Amino acid sequence: MFAYVIKRILLMVPTFAAISLVIFVVLNFAPGTPGAQMQTGEGGGAQDASTAGEQRESYRIFKEQFNLDKPILLNTRYNLGRAELETTLTHILNENRDVSPALQIQAQEDIENWGRYAVPGLMDILTDEAASVPLRAMASQRLTFNAQIQNKMVYQKNLSDEERAEVKRIAKANAQVQAWSFNKSDPEKKVTEITATWTQWFEANGQDWTYDEMDKLAITLLDTRFAKYWENLAKLNFGVSHVDKRPVLNKVFSKLKYSITLSISAVFIIYAISLPLGIWSSIRQNTTADRVVTTFLFMLYSLPSFFVAVFLLNLLTRGTPLQMFPTSGFESLDTSQMTALEHIMDVAWHVILPIFCMSYAALAAISRYARSGLLDVIRSDYVRTARAKGLPESIVILKHAARNGMIPILTLLASLLPALIGGSVVIEVVFGIPGMGSYLFESINVRDYNAVMAVLLISSALTLLGMLISDLSYALVDPRITFE
């Protein structure tokens, strides 16, 4: 069995890699922009870049921190030339009022995302006296942002002395270049001084934009969202939330207790009720009681969970006089004043309705699977042999028939285990429980891609683990199955 487990774990690695790739592609190519709600002042028309830059500065820093300013798969921005930059700046300026707002916004996004790769082209425009003054002014204003060094340690804690010193050095260098800009209405003397300052700065730092073939290859393949994604994944680092800048993994762990409580309770109730019910129904096949139970369970299975959740919420928590359960939440606000037993009772009182809504559909389905599985084996030769030996019917059913009939049920366990992490999105949102389901829902709404990827990847890993556990459990119920 040990060799089988090792082989299955090794097979999980490429499977998980493929799942991770699919999740990355879907999220990064999906419509919308992560953190887009942070943007202000979009479509600023003819306003100069200094005003627009102040409005968008927080969003620019946000994108830098999460590599959202990088290309998705391949990065060839080291080939940026003056012509492309000049066209982009012209679109932002819109002096002739012939550029659409959508094209202006896209140009603004492009110049921000190009970052330091745009510096050589911007310098060409700035130092070209034949270029128009508004264009040169725009180039100087963009340089104050694009020439800044990215500080990737903004959200890191417990920095070493060397890292703190590096953060201070970067902040000092960035603060220096932020003052070197001019407007189109500034006197010629200021324009000349700013241009000379930038020229001197570029001569001192020009080696940063000198790329050999190996540098270009490294940039093309490694300075991308895809490369950063796999680097973080290899370190089990899911990054920080785009919303509150907290580590995603810490937030996931903080939500686990809610979803695990709901899901483990639901799975226990599902199997504790559905298995005996399925066995009972198979023994009484085609009787009136069996038909009634089957009809009721099919009706129960057909009811959408969101409908039942909202119905029970209004009937038993807000209804008159049936205000029997709390309206929402996982526990009361005054749990710190309760004893351990009172706390457990309080939590149980809050989760009765959510657990019921998470359980009833699966209970109906699995009880039918249990019935079908037992019917397949109840007429087998070894079952008739057991009866012929004079064994009690309960022993025949429970020991000989039921164990083999449970194999389909154990297979379904693999699909139930991911609920331990993902929880129920609908149920947690309806009942206001701050578990993994509601966290995933909120993250999708605000396009918090790091959080969404973390929840999906953890759920995928648990699904693979569930499949392994299901396979191993076959040997427990059927002695004929071995993994040697």
Q: What is the pLDDT of residues 367-408, one digit of tens each?
A: 888 888 788 777 777 778 888 888 887 788 777 777 777 777
Phi, psi of 53 (to 5 degrees): -65, -40
C-alpha to C-alpha distance for 419 and 401, rounded to whole angstroms = 29
Peptide bond into 14 cis (omega under 30): no
- Mean pLDDT is highest, among 59-63, 294-298, 479-483, for 294-298
Banded pLDDT at 199 (limits 50, 70, 90): very high
Which pLDDT value is given to residue 50?
43
DSSP run (H or E) holding 410: helix 407-416
**Cα-Cα-Cα-Cα dihedral sign, residues 374, 375, 376, 380:** positive
Token pair belonging to 398: 């429970």
Name the burial class of residue 424, with classes exposed (0-12), middle (13-18) and buried (19+) by CB atoms within 10 angstroms of its CB.
buried
Token pair belonging to 143: 């340089």
Amino acid found at 470: S
Give the predicted TM-score (pTM) of the model. 0.72
Helix pair 436-445, 449-477: axis angle to 10 deg? 150
The number of residues in the chain equals 484
Is the pLDDT at 470 greater than 90? The verdict is no
Query: Which region holds residue 41: left if phi is over 0, alpha if psi is between -120 and 50, else beta?
Result: left
Banded pLDDT at 200 (limits 50, 70, 90): very high
Chain mean pLDDT for the chain: 82
Name the burial class of residue 7, with classes exposed (0-12), middle (13-18) and buried (19+) by CB atoms within 10 angstroms of its CB.
exposed
Which pLDDT value is given to residue 203?
92
Amino acid found at 19: I
Is the pLDDT at 418 greater than 60? The verdict is yes
Token pair belonging to 384: 């008739």
Long-range contact set of residues 88-94: C-beta below 8 Å, sequence gap at least 24: 89/125, 89/135, 89/138, 89/139, 89/142, 90/135, 92/49, 92/52, 92/138, 93/46, 93/134, 93/135, 93/138, 94/45, 94/46
pLDDT, tens digit, 9 for 90 and up, residues 321-351: 677 888 888 888 777 788 888 888 888 888 8
C-alpha to C-alpha distance for 108 and 91, rounded to whole angstroms = 9
Which pLDDT value is given to residue 36?
55
* 447 vs 46, residue with greater confidence: 447
Token pair belonging to 150: 């990215």
Query: Which region holds residue 180: left if phi is over 0, alpha if psi is between -120 and 50, else beta?
Result: beta
Name the burial class of residue 204, with classes exposed (0-12), middle (13-18) and buried (19+) by CB atoms within 10 angstroms of its CB.
exposed
Which range among 105-109, 242-246, 314-318 shows the weakest confidence by mean pLDDT? 242-246
DSSP secondary structure letters along 282-327: HHTTTSHHHHHHHHHHHHHHHS-HHHHHHHHHHHHTSSSS---S-S
Helix pair 133-146, 119-126: axis angle to 10 deg? 150
- Mean pLDDT is highest, among 40-44, 233-237, 356-360, for 356-360
Long-range contact set of residues 290-293: C-beta below 8 Å, sequence gap at least 24: none
Residues linked to residue 247 through DSSP beta bridges, in sequence order: 240
C-alpha to C-alpha distance for 407 and 12, rounded to whole angstroms = 22
Check if the beta carbon of residue 428 is closer than 8 Å to that of residue 416: no
Which pLDDT value is given to residue 32?
65
Check if the beta carbon of residue 125 is closer than 8 Å to that of residue 171: no
According to DSSP, residue 70 is labeled S
Banded pLDDT at 51 (limits 50, 70, 90): very low
Banded pLDDT at 53 (limits 50, 70, 90): very low
pLDDT, tens digit, 9 for 90 and up, residues 140-164: 999 998 898 877 666 666 777 787 8
Amino acid found at 235: K
C-alpha to C-alpha distance for 88 and 100, rounded to whole angstroms = 13
pLDDT > 90 in the chain, percent = 15
Banded pLDDT at 61 (limits 50, 70, 90): low
